[in-house]
């Protein structure tokens, strides 16, 4: 609707046409085509920074910074995590603000094909 177009959705063809329409639009601030911005973001290297064993009192700071809670699963410990394009500074913040002493925190590469997948940690 913000692009000035409305349709009766939730039919395969209508949804597909709406998607194509939106990707063909020029974004209002950058004045770039939406598809080119989408592709640019997909090509940007991202990492997941995952930190385990944090104090409960630090939850608000983690949420405020954009971290998400992972309740864990068999073979995976509960932890806070975030996707970032600057894992080194994120790890430095974590060691400075969250842990009382520095820890080894691994940055996991996230190709575009896994960023929003259930296979993220697999």
Segment 7-53, tens digit of pLDDT? 666 788 888 888 898 899 999 899 999 999 999 988 989 999 988 88
- The C-alpha atoms of residue 55 and residue 53 are separated, in whole angstroms, by 7
| Residue 42: predicted pLDDT | 87
pLDDT above 90: residue 86: yes
pLDDT above 70: residue 78: yes
pLDDT above 90: residue 88: yes
| Residue 51: predicted pLDDT | 84
pLDDT digits (tens, 9 = 90+) for 60-72: 999 999 999 999 8
For the chain, give every domain's residue range.
12-42, 45-110
Element (H, E) at 59: helix 59-65
Q: What is this structure's pTM?
A: 0.69
């Amino acid at each position: 609707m913000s692009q000035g177009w409305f349709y009766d959705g939730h039919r395969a063809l209508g949804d597909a046409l709406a998607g194509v329409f939106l990707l063909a639009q020029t974004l209002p601030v950058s004045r770039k085509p939406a598809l080119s911005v989408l592709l640019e973001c997909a090509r940007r290297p991202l990492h997941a920074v995952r930190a385990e064993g944090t104090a409960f009192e630090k939850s608000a700071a983690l949420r405020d910074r954009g971290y998400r809670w992972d309740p864990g699963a068999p073979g995976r410990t509960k932890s806070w995590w975030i996707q970032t394009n600057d894992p080194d500074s994120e790890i430095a913040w974590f060691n400075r603000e969250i842990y009382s002493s520095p820890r080894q925190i691994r940055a996991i590469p996230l190709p575009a094909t896994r960023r929003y997948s259930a296979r993220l940690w697999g």
